[in-house]
A = this chain, B = another copy of it.
Amino acid sequence: MLPTWNREPGLRVTRASHVVLTGRDLDASEHFYRDVVGLVVTDRTEDTLWLRGLEEASHHSLTIHRSDTARVLRIGMRVDGPEEIDRATAALAALGVESAEVEVPHQGRTLHFTDPSGVDVEFVAEMDVVERRMQAFHEFRSAFPQRFDHYQLVTHDVQKATDFWSDLGFRLAEYTATDGTDELWGSWLEVKGNTHDLVFTNGRGPRLHHWAYTVPDASALIHAADVAGSLGFGDCIDRGPGRHGLSNALFLYMRDPDGHRVELFTTHYQYIDPEVPPIRWDVSHPQRAQLWGMPASERWFFEASEFPDRALCEPLVSSSPQTLEAYLGLH
């Protein structure tokens, strides 16, 4: 069932902005994200590593805390200034969701909560401002990653998750539904004016499937793959290069040394005008997952990062074997 888009949600979430992970070896993480992906290292302490894209003026879009296990702790979103934290608290409460304001280094007012599908989220009002490195071209490495863009979550209840975020002002841009019905399999939700900030797909969840950085063009995507190869990370690619029919993204997916998945892609189309309806795809449509080329690896479909305290739930929408084969692009 299509969600109802709440255009006056009472708070202004502006964009998906960062993720917070744990990893087992910060040296390995730093090498991977700096040299194989090309991110800028903003800072590092004994226990924490902060990174960002080349054009980002915010202190971090990726935070990795040292740990014995590799988990995703939070997905992060920006709100439009400190006063929005109060408005968010109220808006969440009205939806029956508790939240708590916390202190986080290099961040202004920050609000923690868990969405109805079990995803741990933080809203951030401000971050330390740092220098954009987008014109330090001589320092560019690998994929030339520009900025954090979105994340995709595996959830057992796509409908509930979609409804919740639509209530907070997110707008459905594209969606996948069981063939011939409006039973949601996946929802692509946006808040910053292009195709997606937040994606939910059907499966055992909650898990973080991936998050994404934009890259300038296909050349950068190929160069990143080449650099991965020459640094011995050729196997870290678990899908692509390829083109999704859904969202039209030209993508490359990589796994970091802890197994977390990062997507590099060449940005979206714009999605702003209110009269334009979302695009619908049958889950079995052959060009939904890829407009061309070879199917994704099985590990791309079935592996994802877990949240530390969230039990996994089996998906409410079940798959016939035929649907699954179609979904995997095996037909």
Contacts and interface: CB of A to CB of B under 8 A. Distances in A.
Contacts of A58: 273, 276
Interface in A185-205: 192-193
A132 B290 CA distance: 18
Contacts of A293: 225, 229, 234, 237, 240-241
Given A55-B269, A78-B272, A276-B57, A135 B294 contact: no
A137 B57 contact: no
A230 B129 contact: no
A222 B267 CA distance: 15
Interface string A228-243: 1111011001111111
A226 B55 contact: no
Given A136-B230, A193-B193, A273-B127, A294 B291 contact: no
Contacts of A270: 15, 55, 147, 192
B219 A146 contact: no
Given A216-B266, A219-B217, A292-B237, A15 B272 contact: yes
A250 interface: yes
A144 B267 CA distance: 15
Given A193-B193, A230-B138, A275-B108, A241 B222 contact: yes
A134 interface: yes
Contacts of A111: none
A259 interface: no
A35 interface: yes
A135 B233 CA distance: 13
A153 to B, nearest CB: 22
B222 A57 contact: no
A269 B147 contact: yes
Contacts of A229: 135, 137, 243, 245, 287, 290-293
A126 interface: yes
B237 A294 contact: yes
Contact of A134 (B132, B231, B234, B248): B248
Given A234-B290, A267-B267, 15 more contacts: A15-B272, A57-B273, A57-B276, A78-B273, A81-B274, A137-B229, A137-B230, A192-B193, A216-B266, A218-B218, A222-B241, A226-B243, A229-B243, A229-B292, A237-B292
Interface of A: 7, 14-15, 35, 55, 57-58, 78, 80-81, 108, 126-127, 129, 132, 134-138, 140-142, 146-147, 192-193, 216-223, 225-231, 233-234, 237-243, 245, 248, 250, 266-267, 269-270, 272-277, 286-287, 290-294, 297
